Amino acid sequence: MATAVAVVCAVTVLAAPGTAFANPTPSPTPSAGPALAPAKDLEAVRKKLDRLYRAAGRATDEYNAADEKADKQSAEVVALAKKIVKGREKLRKLKDRAGAAAAAQYRGGGLPPEAHLVLSDDPQDFLDGAGRVREGHHATKGLLGELTRTQADLEQYAKDAAAQLKKLEAGRKAKAAAQKKIEKQIAQAEKLESELQKEEQERLAELEKEAANRAQTAWLGSGILEEIDGKASEQGKKAVKYATAQIGKPYQWGAEGPRTYDCSGLTSQAWISAGRGIPRTSQEQWKRLRHIDIQDMRPGDLIIYFDDASHVGMYIGDGAIVHAPRPGRTVTIAGAGTMPILGVVRPDADTDAD
């Protein structure tokens, strides 16, 4: 049975071997190659690949989110560790001061003020000394209070550090689980593609282009482009310049450049280059950035795709985006309407454009 048939069987129901793909003559000539899958079956393969790569995209967002959390939690653990070190040093110094105060009181004999008055030859000296004693008592009381507070702070720092370490470990597990999902989906997609004959791969690429063209034509056919005439802000221009300069660089899940990118790695780094830090993942970009009506979008805005916000591209004008599509592809320009649009977000704070 032809390799292509084995591939198509994975995604659609086919006729039994020897029927739909049988050679019409009883004895095929030695030069005849394996039969190619019908276009309708390659379309099923295309849809299957799309689902696999979309699943990998969702898992990539999970991985990136876990990675971002892990970085923050690691920084918090380090900050708490520094606080603990400083707190211990402060506590040591406070204990030294408390010990010195106790020794001074011991040397004074611990006599009550009345006894010092009786023993004093000069009442004024006694009054001066009594004032110092009161100051000493206040200082000792303050020292003990500071000791107590420092000890409590140290205990809280230790609890916080333990909690952050627990979160960090959970984050690492989530990150590892997301990585397994990504690798599984990509491996299945690559296996599916590798089992296609060269002619089938070429036809599959044509089907992908045709599907994208149909979607873009339908989007433009709505007249939406006639309503979009926003001008880029200065920050938006810088972001677009950065993103378009990456065209041709490979997609790599979890990557933020400078050699490879995933979809949100490209958009987040482009805006960082423009002086504006934004969330790392497409889902967080959708949640936390300002939403804009499609007809109001301008170059530099981000278009979020699919109901789960699992993909993002940067609008560059004239109905086009620059984006990092999926594994096996490179950063490229595509029609803004080639995928289902969830909405548009604006990273920069500029309200006016040039």
Instruction: Give the pairing of strands 320-323 and 332-335.
Output: antiparallel
Tell me whether residue 323 is one of the annotated catalytic residues.
yes
Compute φ and ψ for 316, nearest 5 degrees: -120, 5
Token couple for 187: 């491996």
Rounded to whole angstroms, the Cα distance separating 288 from 68 reads 15
Compute φ and ψ for 228, nearest 5 degrees: -95, 110
Q: Of 137, 138, 291, 323, which is the active-site residue?
A: 323
Q: Of 9, 137, 291, 311, which is the active-site residue?
A: 311
Q: What kind and span of H or E run contains 67?
A: helix 39-107
Rounded to whole angstroms, the Cα distance separating 320 from 338 reads 9
Long-range contacts of 67-72 (CB under 8 A, 24+ apart): 67/175, 67/254, 67/280, 68/280, 68/281, 69/167, 69/171, 70/168, 70/171, 70/172, 70/175
Rounded to whole angstroms, the Cα distance separating 311 from 325 reads 8
Separation of first and last alpha carbons in the chain: 62
Q: Of 137, 138, 263, 291, which is the active-site residue?
A: 263
By CB neighbour count within 10 A (0-12 exposed, 13-18 middle, 19+ buried), where does 305 fall?
Answer: buried
Written in H, E and C, the secondary structure of 101-128 is HHHHHHHCCCCCHHHHHHHCCCHHHHHH
Q: Give the type of residue at 215.
A: A
Token couple for 202: 């070429």
Beta carbons within 8 Å of 165's beta carbon, 6+ residues apart: 77
Beta carbons within 8 Å of 335's beta carbon, 6+ residues apart: 212, 213, 215, 216, 219, 220, 319, 320, 321
Residues annotated as catalytic are: 263, 311, 323
